[in-house]
Chain A
Amino acid sequence: MKIKRENKVTDEIPTASMADVSFLLIVFFMITSTFAATRGLDFALPEQDDNPPVIEKEESTLIEVMPGGQLIVDGQPMALDGILDYLRPKLERNPLKPVIIRPDPASEYGYMVDVFDELRQGAEQGVEVKNISIPTQREIQAFWY
């Protein structure tokens, strides 16, 4: 009698379905993930202080942001790209000169960010503004004179 030879079993891990599973996971991630904005301007808030240091008006530079985006720097109308040139000699004399941004409550938030960003970018142009302050209306009413 002829004995039939046993079929040889190959030792192989089936990987064909792994690609299917992997692609299902990829499709899941592609659908659920969004291109969200995850960058922004960092803004360190000062600690609460009931007796903040008094800064004389003459010692600081005041940038007022008016509705519509008009800027008034130390009482003079000024364009956004003129601020750093205006500040350069002042900061050379006093590198810690405070620069106060005071947006009008009726102005748009975007204009305040434009000014803040311009001041932060000054470091790249050799005009580093180290002391930027954006007081809130409550602080202005409490401490402004």
Chain B
Amino acid sequence: MRLKASKSSQAVIPTATMADIAMLLIIFFLVTFQIEVDKSEVELPSTGIRVEVPKKSAYVSVTELGYIRVSSGEEMSVQVPGAEEVFSFASGLIARDPAKEFVLKADRNVPYRLVDELIDALKRANVRNVYLLSDEEARSSGG
């Protein structure tokens, strides 16, 4: 009797679906990807109400030590000496886009005097919408 030679099966890992999964992950990252235009390290205040900040909003950040940085939302932030420069910066952006939104990213421990000067500068520059950047409040804290 003649024995039939057994067929050798090739050890292949199917990789076709891997590309599909990878593509799905890429699409996810592309949709959610947002460049962080301001990398100032601040301890944000916590709030219960938090609305999504529009993309491409301009940023004004102030650290606990009082360092102020600004960004138009399209490039990395730069440090400015004080509120008057924030006023000039905001006026320029509002002249181009009167509906431009601004994000105030301030450290919760910064003296209010500094924040007051920044809000005043934004008001004088005719900024309408400001978002006070915050972290999520722990519900159990009870105020």
A residues whose Cβ falls under 8 Å from a Cβ of B = 15-16, 18-19, 22-23, 25-26, 29-30, 32-34, 36-48, 65, 79-81, 103-114, 116-118, 120-121, 134, 136-139
Q: How far is the CA of A116 from the CA of B106 in the complex (A)?
A: 15
The reply to whether B112 and A105 form a contact with Cβ atoms under 8 Å apart is yes
The reply to whether A41 and B113 form a contact with Cβ atoms under 8 Å apart is no
B115: Cβ under 8 A from any A Cβ? yes
The reply to whether A23 and B22 form a contact with Cβ atoms under 8 Å apart is yes
Across the interface, B132 reaches (CB within 8 A) one of A32, A41, A107, namely A41
Please give the number of chain B residues whose Cβ is less than 8 angstroms from any Cβ of chain A in the complex: 56
Q: How far is the CA of A121 from the CA of B103 in the complex (A)?
A: 20
From known contacts A108-B110, A137-B116, infer whether A29 and B51 are also in contact, taking CB-CB under 8 Å.
no
B residues whose Cβ falls under 8 Å from a Cβ of A = 15-16, 18-19, 22-23, 25-26, 29-30, 32-34, 36, 44-45, 47-53, 103-104, 106-117, 119-120, 122-124, 126-137, 142-143
Would you call the interface of chain B mostly helix, strand, loop, or mixed? mixed
The reply to whether A19 and B15 form a contact with Cβ atoms under 8 Å apart is yes
The reply to whether B111 and A109 form a contact with Cβ atoms under 8 Å apart is yes
Q: How far is the CA of A16 from the CA of B17 in the complex (A)?
A: 10
What's the minimum C-beta distance from B81 to chain A, rounded to whole angstroms? 19
